Amino acid sequence: MSVTTVQTERTAPSLRGLLPVWVGAAVYALFVLAGNRLLIDPDTLWQITVGQWIIDHRAVPTVDIYSFTMRGQPWISTQWLAQVLFAQSYALAGWAGPVVLSAGAIAATFALLARFVGRRLPESATLVAVAAALALTVTHLFARPHVLALPLLVLWAAGLIAAADRREAPSYWLLPVMALWANLHGGFVFGFVLVGGLALDAIWGAGPRVQKSLLLRWFVFGLAALAASCITPYGWNALLASQKILSLGGALPLITEWRPADFGSLGALEVCLLLGIGLALHHGVKLPVMRIVLLLGLVHMALAQTRAAEILALVAPLLLAAPLARQIGGSESSAPVTSPMRSALVAGVVAMLAAGTIAWASVHPFQPHMHGSPVAAVTELKKLNLTRVLNDYDFGGYLIANGVSPFIDGRTELYGEKFFVDHNAASGLMKPENLFRLLEQYDIEATLLRTQSAATTLLDHIDGWQKIYSDDIATIHLRKPGAMHTAEPAVGAKAR
């Protein structure tokens, strides 16, 4: 055996298991290169504004201080830490800060997914799982707090699933993950759903002699996780705030990301579900009963709410990895090997990504996508020094960021189901009487609505309202002195 052969055999194990590094590097580069896409959501603007307020006041909000309709009403931000991180990154590096922060979190998410799935499945199968997960999540990846919490979702789910696979209780080292998650995003409540489901999975597969003790250990861990989630500035109120979002009822289907999946056209979710079903039928895949229940639950969530597709994408591969490994074959190594050569390679990749980010940011300045924002209209509106403006829902974040008190904004849990539904019915004229009732009830001085909205068209033909500005995005109508609308006008009434 030659010296070269011996060195190759020693080097190969040290470089094995680098797929997570390449996945993380590729995903990071992809989202930095397309960085402005991370800034197309208008909610990013108000998230940074709230984060800066927290930094300036060294406190977290407990009441609304932005809108004029709910000012002083109780409101807490379960995303306060993410908002601080976004605000701080923006203060340090402009819009490049939130882009890099978000891209880094997304890269960490998929690197962790590749690492945990790759411990069970071959690299080819791991890449398929990662590609499918990316396809399902890409439409909801923006510079918003939920993105910073995605790596914690993977860590939490992977830790619980690994414990269930071993028929053991989870490690208490997972509790800091829950505490951090509870300060970053309200989605931490899903972590408790996983605890319950995977506890049943672990107990179901355990021997009768250990089931009771295993149930007790999972129960104690669940209580500890519940206590860890209360380590926030708001204590247990963070749990109640998350419940308020889930209880919005009829308001949720009116928000794009909360709507049920639409199969009117071929999309990533349909493709992934069909391919998954086809592969399962072809290979005759069999799963434990509780894994089937959990998987069907994740699919139901993704069908009921489009934003839940990211949970299916990131948790399902972890649930399936161990059962599939027993049927199609597992990876050659259960855990990556650490070595100086491996560490040096990872450090080199990180350095190259950092240098590339700086170079790209210097020639391609990052900035929010303002095509759908009322930039010019708000400039005109601020000249009027008005305080009571009825705005389109999607304009609320931009108004907050520009110091204008909105009628409504993206904090739907603050406004509640009825308020949100009434506003939606008013702006879309599903119930024209709602529009006139809101104009009177809140003593509206002007409206800032989308130019294409039905309410804008109606106000063009109503006495007492004057169009003073309009562009392709937004239109401003100003109330004339003395105008009173106490009853619905005869819109579309049949002539007698």
> What tens digit of pLDDT does each residue of 237-293 get?
888 777 777 677 766 666 777 778 888 888 888 898 899 889 888 878 888 899 999
The one-letter amino acid at 336 = P
Instruction: For residue 469, report the phi and psi dihedrals to the nearest 5 degrees.
Output: -160, 145
Nearest to 14 by CA among 338, 350, 346, 345: 338
CB atoms within 10 A of CB 154: 25
Cα 45 to chain centroid distance, Å, stands at 15
pLDDT at 330: 67
pLDDT at 236: 86
Domain ranges for the chain: 17-348, 375-479
Beta pairing partners, 391: 448
* Length of the chain measured in residues: 496
Give the per-residue SS3 of the chain. Answer: CCHHHHHHHHHHHHHCCCHHHHHHHHHHHHHHHCHHHHHCCCHHHHHHHHHHHHHHHCCCCCECCCCCCCCCCECCCCCHHHHHHHHHHHHHHCCHHHHHHHHHHHHHHHHHHHHHHHCCCCHHHHHHHHHHHHHHHHHHCCCCHHHHHHHHHHHHHHHHHHHHHCCCCCCHHHHHHHHHHHHHCHHHHHHHHHHHHHHHHHHHHCCHHHHHHHHHHHHHHHHHHHHHHCCCCCCCHHHHHHHHHHCCHHHHHHCHHHCCCCCCCCCHHHHHHHHHHHHHHHHCCCCCHHHHHHHHHHHHHHHHCHHHHHHHHHHHHHHHHHHHHHHHCCCCCCCCCCCHHHHHHHHHHHHHHHHHHHHHHHHCCCCCCCCCCCHHHHHHHHCCCCCCEEECHHHHHHHHHCCCCCCCCCCHHHHHHHHHHHHHHHHCCCCHHHHHHHHHHCCCCEEEEECCCHHHHHHCCCCCEEEEEECCCEEEEEECCCCCCCCCCCCCCCCC
CB 201 within 8 A of CB 322: no
Query: What is the distance between the alpha carbons of residues 311 and 138, in angstroms, rounded to a whole number?
Result: 12
Region label for 40, one of left (φ > 0), alpha (ψ between -120 and 50) or beta (otherwise)? alpha
The residue with greater pLDDT, 348 or 86, is 86
In the predicted structure, residue 338 carries a pLDDT above the cut 50 = yes
pLDDT at 336: 52
pLDDT at 112: 96
pLDDT at 482: 60
In the predicted structure, residue 226 carries a pLDDT above the cut 80 = yes
Tokens of 249: 């009822």
Q: Average pLDDT in the 334-343 region?
A: 65
37-67 core/surface letters (b: 16 or more CB in 10 A; e: else): bbbebbbbbbbbbbbbbbeeeeebbeebebb
Query: What is the distance between the alpha carbons of residues 237 and 233, in angstroms, rounded to a whole number?
Result: 9
In the predicted structure, residue 70 carries a pLDDT above the cut 90 = yes
Q: Between vectors from CA 37 to CA 36 and to CA 40, what angle results, nearest 5°?
A: 95
Q: Return mean pLDDT, the chain.
A: 87
CB 195 within 8 A of CB 315: no
In the predicted structure, residue 434 carries a pLDDT above the cut 70 = yes
Tokens of 151: 């790596």
pLDDT at 178: 97
pLDDT at 304: 87
Q: Average pLDDT in the 394-422 region?
A: 90
The residue with greater pLDDT, 492 or 37, is 37
pLDDT at 11: 42
pLDDT tens digits, residue range 136-160? 999 889 999 999 999 999 999 999 9
pLDDT at 331: 64
In the predicted structure, residue 399 carries a pLDDT above the cut 70 = yes
91-106 core/surface letters (b: 16 or more CB in 10 A; e: else): eebebbbbbbbbbbbb
In the predicted structure, residue 194 carries a pLDDT above the cut 80 = yes
Nearest to 143 by CA among 43, 52, 259, 55: 43
Pairing of strands 465-470, 474-479: antiparallel
Under the banding of pLDDT at 50, 70 and 90, the label for residue 14 is very low
In the predicted structure, residue 480 carries a pLDDT above the cut 90 = no
Q: Average pLDDT in the 355-374 region?
A: 85
pLDDT at 332: 54
Under the banding of pLDDT at 50, 70 and 90, the label for residue 417 is confident
CB 106 within 8 A of CB 150: yes
pLDDT tens digits, residue range 75-86? 999 999 999 999
In the predicted structure, residue 181 carries a pLDDT above the cut 90 = yes
CB 446 within 8 A of CB 478: yes
Tokens of 276: 């998954």
CB atoms within 10 A of CB 288: 15
Under the banding of pLDDT at 50, 70 and 90, the label for residue 51 is very high
In the predicted structure, residue 495 carries a pLDDT above the cut 70 = no
Residue in the structure block whose two tokens are 């006041």: 57
Q: What share of the chain in percent tops pLDDT 70?
A: 90
Cα 293 to chain centroid distance, Å, stands at 24
What is the maximum alpha-carbon separation in the chain?
A: 104
Query: What is the distance between the alpha carbons of residues 100 and 143, in angstroms, rounded to a whole number?
Result: 9
In the predicted structure, residue 45 carries a pLDDT above the cut 80 = yes
